[in-house]
Structure 1
């Protein structure tokens, strides 16, 4: 239980570190990042004319972390069967709060589109039928903490449940399933080197869920991306990820990119965050996914305490409470009990 809790905390905090480090560099190119910041290896403030992050203090988390924590709580409140309506209502309320803070542009395209559709009266089960971007994968860590790696079918089914309202497509579910499987592998004490194989298995199953949508196979892309950068120096690997894998919000790019980052960082959470922040493109989400997966395998001792102290917009006591409850629920699932028992 103690190790699982430590890994669960590290997955959530690692994800927050990757998110916050990538916040000011998101949507920029690698050359723009270099010109503005040099090589980013610590929290920096976004430029005054940044398209979405302007005005946010250095170290501030974004929607990646906020939605992750929100999903974790809904999972626990739902019990054994994911409460679809509760999740939709929570997302709508969260979206209102984000708007009130002036940060609506930080919402991902699939989530924004689905929430708008739900607000306009579309049934939640239909709202996510074209959501294929990385929003589901970016917030899926709580499912990986909650669900054991075996049976993998149960893990993937829970992932698919949580995707229905915003990302109910084969590509998005496969991507989220891959990340959840990697996180689960870490929480149960697995080695980061096994994360890719776990992810590929889950992604293949996830691709059979939701509405089929055209796009490259997520499992094959993850496997290829990891092989592509294995053994490469960091600078060369960054170039390969940017030029060949891609760093956009498309699931087929950013999720394989996150697994490639995990490989280059050799499972180190902070290095995963740093590499991600310097890629350009969807740096905060790639960082949240990669550093979250690395954190799940590394534990809190491998996270930099000084940078955790620099995080803004996150309550660490709340994170610990969530991690504790998710790990307890994981134990009940392992024993064949109900999540909320």
Structure 2
């Protein structure tokens, strides 16, 4: 007998849990070439691993530790709750800078990405929000947007995409970045409402088309077209060969037009198993923590939190006690975001 579909709360919790698990799985493989990941861990990660001692960014981090992807997504979640669905861009800039200061004080090298760093330097120099994100085209907006998809139903897709744009324009105010973030947010939102993968992906592509018309223009491939093309690239392929094609053709770099299509390609290769989705995405190397976080958020929203192995969830929460906090952790934030979506009141 097929399992019953997950309830809405399970899907909302699954989105944040999948994001964090994908991020933690990708922590030790981020920045590594695809073939080196295979040499170190085999063709597919099977569990959470500590960072290698020689890792340029994550050396010393234990198995299960999350990175900036989860930290910034939860930061955005809290701002969405504080703003009743909107994100104060000045507070976002201040909170991101405070987060980086805390990471640096802790000795972490996992700091702000290139678009965010450049934008916040501009803000510090007095640039207004409308210009600070002028060149932000990398995947930082897409990596942290999943909470927006939990908090907002799709409704009118154009209005939804405009909300995605407003949520991150201080750092990523380009059509490419908005398109990527809109695709991820739309897929999460559709999945929270009970869409299947095909329906969520179609809405993601439509959202990416709309997102490309917002923000400033920068040169680069069309994100919506690249998602559709990435799906064609991996169609008819088994997982192993499909991941090779993602690495060779789609790309796994920090460019939005690589990382976001890569996440959707991995979802297409692993449609029925969210734990396989995050393990496969983390096995890519490159910007694997972000790709796995985005794919994990969508897969978790599709299948629900209970679809992930309980032992992996326990290991994740043990390595990141703040995520288990009953008032401010993953479950609490997911429930509050869902209450916001449903028009209720967060705790």
Identify the TM-score tier after normalising by the shorter chain.
over 0.9
Distance 1:228 1:174 in 2: 20
Counterpart of 2:198 (choices 193, 209, 214) is 193
Greater Cα offset, 162-171 or 87-96: 87-96
Determine if contact 1:62/1:106 at 8 Å carries over to the other structure.
Answer: no
Counterpart of 1:223 (choices 218, 224, 228) is 228
Determine if contact 2:172/2:178 at 8 Å carries over to the other structure.
Answer: yes
Corresponding residue for 1:214? 219
Distance 1:156 1:282 in 2: 25
Pairwise CA RMSD: 1.7
1:100 is aligned to 2:105:
yes
Corresponding residue for 1:37? 41
Distance 1:236 1:194 in 2: 25
TM-score of the superposed pair, with normalisation by structure 2:
0.92
Corresponding residue for 1:329? 340
Corresponding residue for 1:24? 28
Distance 1:274 1:35 in 2: 16
Give the deviation of 1:268 after TM superposition.
2.0
Counterpart of 2:73 (choices 48, 68, 76) is 68
Which SS does the other structure have where 1:25 is aligned? coil
1:139-158 → structure 2 map (5 Å cutoff) = 139-158=144-163
Give the deviation of 1:3 after TM superposition.
2.2
Counterpart of 2:271 (choices 266, 287, 293) is 266
Distance 2:337 2:137 in 1: 27
Distance 1:196 1:150 in 2: 16
Corresponding residue for 1:280? 285
Distance 1:120 1:168 in 2: 17
Greater Cα offset, 72-81 or 99-108: 99-108
Determine if contact 1:95/1:104 at 8 Å carries over to the other structure.
Answer: no
Corresponding residue for 2:331? 320
Corresponding residue for 1:336? none
Determine if contact 1:159/1:177 at 8 Å carries over to the other structure.
Answer: yes
| Structure 1 residues 262 and 61: alpha-carbon distance in aligned structure 2, compared to 1, 3 A threshold | same
Structure 2: segments with no counterpart, 5+ residues: 1-5
| Structure 1 residues 264 and 86: alpha-carbon distance in aligned structure 2, compared to 1, 3 A threshold | same
Determine if contact 1:9/1:320 at 8 Å carries over to the other structure.
Answer: yes
Give the deviation of 1:219 after TM superposition.
0.5
The number of residue pairs the alignment matches comes to 335
Give the deviation of 1:100 after TM superposition.
1.2
Which SS does the other structure have where 2:138 is aligned? coil
Distance 1:110 1:8 in 2: 28
TM-score of the superposed pair, with normalisation by structure 1:
0.94
Distance 1:12 1:244 in 2: 29
What's the CA shift string for 1:41-86, capped at 9, x where partnerless?
Answer: 1111111111101011111000000100110110111125432222
Give the deviation of 1:120 after TM superposition.
3.6
Give the deviation of 1:301 after TM superposition.
2.1
Give the deviation of 1:141 after TM superposition.
0.4
| Structure 1 residues 49 and 81: alpha-carbon distance in aligned structure 2, compared to 1, 3 A threshold | closer
Give the deviation of 1:17 after TM superposition.
0.5
Determine if contact 2:89/2:168 at 8 Å carries over to the other structure.
Answer: no
Determine if contact 1:192/1:267 at 8 Å carries over to the other structure.
Answer: no
1:204 is aligned to 2:202:
no
Distance 1:37 1:6 in 2: 31
1:158-173 → structure 2 map (5 Å cutoff) = 158-173=163-178
Corresponding residue for 1:298? 303
